[in-house]
Amino acid sequence: MLDKLASLETKYNELESQISKPEIIADNNLWRQLAKSHSELTEVISVYREYKQTMKSTEEAREMMLDNPEPDFREMLELELEELSEKEKALGKKLRLLLLPKDPNDEKNVLIEIRAGTGGEEAALFAADLFRMYTRYAEKQGWKSEIMNTSFTDIDGIKEVIFLIEGKGAYSKLKFESGVHRVQRVPSTESSGRIHTSASTVAVLPEAEELEIEINPNDIRIDLFCATGPGGQSVNTTQSAVRLTHIPSGIVVSMQDEKSQHKNKDKAMRILRARVKDKIEQEQKDKIDSDRKSQVGSGDRSERIRTYNFPQNRVTDHRIGLTSHRLPEILMGELDEIIDALVTTDQADQLGQTL
């Protein structure tokens, strides 16, 4: 580990030197690329230098103990060595985590797709609860949310919603939310007071930038049609709604929320790029991990990952065995307890495999 860190520090110093050279600064694209690489190494190098200084202080304290036989002074040095030892262990653990392979999508914005599953109107109402939970969580993180496409029921439930969350590290926090979310409660439509079990599915996709996914325009079929539902005079009169079909993958995206055909097409393309990117990455992951699935991040969207039990005020994440009795707070967007536990479990799993 120390050899790898020493090599990274050499690279870091080289990058620091390069980004200050006038000829590099003049080349904006190259400077941005090198500055990004430098920034990505800053945290691990900072911790590594603190780790080296702690090791140096430990060695100096041991040498002083050998040269000073006075009991009081030795006792003081022993206490200092205990503190330095604990600090060295903590920094070593942090370094091992920082050296784990980074998910290249972690810093990206995310597209979240929520769909009502089994349970009829109750599933649609629960889908609306999940949408509210994630947008409020995003707000607490200082992120921005934008609805891309929605389909409502007559009683304010959601059949389907696709929305974008923009913010640094959004995918790293939300990537474990993909899967089936189950709710157990007495529906507002139930007169006999029986508890029903319903479900909604969540898919979390990293937003794909145009440069990342090159989609041949000839591979896309574009269909224009009139929007349906509420929306004013333009509904059923102008062909503002857009349907994009990516012929090689068969992925279809329809968009009609905007009155402008151009805006609908732009939103549909953003969703299409994300879905094509996700399909490619899933296929690659299936080839690599065909014999093994990570405890947390299998990415299987048919897997039941969490249950929200209203009578018992309980939320249970089945992948890590976490149970919380703060259901109202969690549905109001206080997801840190669950998300932090999922991230920590994933890191521990990766660390165990590395060791």
Number of structural domains found in the chain: 3
pLDDT score, position 172: 92
241 in a structural domain: yes
The CATH number of whichever domain residue 257 belongs to comes to 3.30.160.20
How confident is the prediction for the chain on average, in pLDDT?
85
pLDDT score, position 179: 93
151-190 pLDDT tens trace: 888 888 999 999 999 998 899 999 999 999 999 999 876 7
Residues 233 and 164 in one domain: no
Reported confidence tier of residue 103, pLDDT bands at 50, 70, 90:
confident
pLDDT score, position 238: 67
The CATH number of whichever domain residue 130 belongs to comes to 3.30.70.1660
Cβ atoms of residues 291 and 304 within 8 Å: no
Percent of the chain with pLDDT strictly greater than 90: 44
pLDDT score, position 232: 44
190-246 pLDDT tens trace: 766 788 999 999 999 998 876 567 788 888 898 888 876 554 444 445 678 888 899
C-alpha–C-alpha distance, residues 333 and 323, integer Å: 16
293 in a structural domain: no
Kindly tell me if the per-residue pLDDT of 330 is higher than 90: yes
Residues 14 and 133 in one domain: no
